[in-house]
Amino acid sequence: MSASEFVVTTDTIRAAFPALERLQDGTPVAYFDGPGGTQVPQVVAEAVTDYLLHHNANAHWRFATSRETDRVVAGARGAVADLLGCEAGEVVFGPNMTTLTFHLARGLARDWAPEDEVVVTELDHHANIDPWRSLERDFGVQVKTIGFDPESGRLRYDELEEALGPRTRLVAVGGASNALGTVNDLEHIITVAHAAGARVFVDAVHLAPHARLDVHTLDCDFLAFSAYKAYGPHIGVLYGKADLLAATAVPKLEPAPDTAPDRLETGTQVFEGIAGTAAMVDWLASLAGPDGERRARLDRVFAALHERGEALITRLWEGLDSIDCVTLYGPEPDSGPRTPTLAFTVGERLSVEVAAELADAALFVSDGDFYALSVVRRLGRLEQGLLRAGCVAYTTEEEVDRLIAAVARAAGS
C-alpha cells in the first residue's frame, strides 16, 4: 500500500483518546494546545500503568522485574530508532528535552576551548538557546545568533553562512518553530555547517509530531524531541551519532555505565515513561494496520497525517485571516513547508484575555510566549503575548470552524 492509498479516519484516531470525551457545560472540549503537549491514547496510558503495577524495578539486576525493565528499555530504544531512522544504540532517554540539552551542552563544551563558537537562531524555543548560552559563562564559549524575517517567519539563511567560521563548533537549530510553525531547511543548514567543520544539534520537539524524520539521511549529529508532544508521556529523547555519544565527556557518576547510550542517562530513568514512549510509537504505526515493518507503516501514517494537517491549517489560516482585527504571524500555508500551528493576535487585546474567552467556549489554546521569547520579542508582542493554535492528529474540521467563529466573536468584543 502506498502512502497516497493509505487512509485512516479521524473517528478512528479520536476513539483512541479518552480525553476527547471531556465536556465543558455540555460542549465537547477542542484541544488546540497540542504544540504545548498532546493528549494521550488509551494504549499509552495502559503501558505506563502496566509497567508500574507489574514490572516496576530498577535496572540491571538479576531478578525478574529488573530483567523485564531492561527489556522495556531495549524495546523502547528500538521503537524510537524506527521513529527517527537510527539505531537503537543511538537513542538516549531523559526527563525532558531541556534537561538533555543542558546535559549534552556541558559534555560537549568540556572538549572545547574558550572563544570557540556556537551558532543559535532567534526562531528557536529557548530550550535550544539558553543551554548553549550558559556555556558563555561556564566555559567562555561565544554564542552567535542568526535572525528571522518577521514578515515571512523564516530564518535569514544568509546570516547563517556569515556566522560560521573556523572556531564554530556547533550549530543549534530548531526543526520547526513552536510559535510560528515555520519548518526550517535542515538539509541546507546541515550541509553548510558540516562544510564549515561544525556539528549540528536539531531541536525536533515541534517537528517530530508532524514530519517523518530520518536522522541518518539528514546527517544531523544530534537531535532531541519530547514524547509528550507526539502523543506520548512526559519524557525526553536524544539521538546522537554513535561515535559522538561514545566520545562526549558528559558529567556522570562512578561507577555508572561508560558505554553509550547509557552513559548519557543520568540517574534512574523514568521507566514507566519509557514504556509509554514505546507504546506511542506502536500506536502511531498501528494506524497503518498490522502488516509490514514498523518503519514502513510509520512512513504511511506520517504521509497521511501531513496531508490532513496541511488541509486543517489552510482552513484555519483562511478563516482567521478573514476576521477584521486578527493578525496572523508566520509563513502562509502555501508559501513553503510549515507545521499545522499558527500564532495570532486579536487587535490590541491581551492574549491571556482572549484565551480565557476561548476557554469558556471549550476551546483550549495557548497564550503568551511559549518559551519562544526571542520570536515574540522580535514581533514586538511581549506585553500583549501571542495566541497559538495547533492542529494534530485528532483535530477535526468542525473544531477548526468552532475556533474561527469564537475568535470572530472575541474580535467583535
Using CA atoms, how far apart are residues 316 and 157, in angstroms rounded to an integer? 28
pLDDT in the model for residue 4: 44
Task: For residue 166, give Cα distances in angstroms to 118, 135, 196.
Answer: 11, 18, 7
3-state helix, strand, coil in the chain (%, to 5): 45, 15, 40
State the pLDDT confidence band at 255, using cuts at 50, 70 and 90: confident
Find cell 474540521 and name the residue. 397
User: What pLDDT does 7 receive?
Assistant: 61
Given the candidates 3.40.1390.10, 3.40.630.30, 3.90.1150.10, 3.40.50.300, the CATH classification of the domain at 3-40+294-412 is 3.90.1150.10
Is the distance from CB of 94 to CB of 142 less than 8 angstroms? no
Q: Give the whole-angstrom CA distance, residue 170 versus residue 119.
A: 6
User: For all residues of the chain together, what is the average pLDDT?
Assistant: 96
Q: Which three cell numbers stand for residue 166?
A: 573556523
Place of cell 501571542: 386
φ/ψ of 230, rounded to 5, equals -135, 40
Structure confidence at residue 256 as a pLDDT band (50, 70, 90): confident
pLDDT in tens, 24-58: 999 999 999 999 999 999 999 999 999 999 999 99
CB 300 within 8 A of CB 388: no
SS3 letters for 270-288?
CHHHHHHHHHHHHHHHHCC
Location of C-alpha cell 559534555: 107
Summarised one tens digit per residue, pLDDT across range 305-343 is 999 999 999 999 999 999 999 999 999 999 999 999 999
Can you read off the three cell numbers belonging to residue 143? 554564542
Q: What is the pLDDT at residue 2?
A: 46
What pLDDT is attached to residue 75? 98
Average pLDDT over residues 177-183: 98
Tens-place pLDDT, residues 49-88? 999 999 999 999 999 999 999 999 999 999 999 999 999 9
How many C-beta neighbours within 10 Å does residue 219 have? Answer: 14
Q: What pTM value is reported for the model?
A: 0.96
Task: Tell me which CATH code domain 45-284 carries.
Answer: 3.40.640.10
- Is residue 260 scored above 90 in pLDDT? no
Structural domain boundaries in the chain: 3-40+294-412, 45-284
The pLDDT value given to residue 47: 98
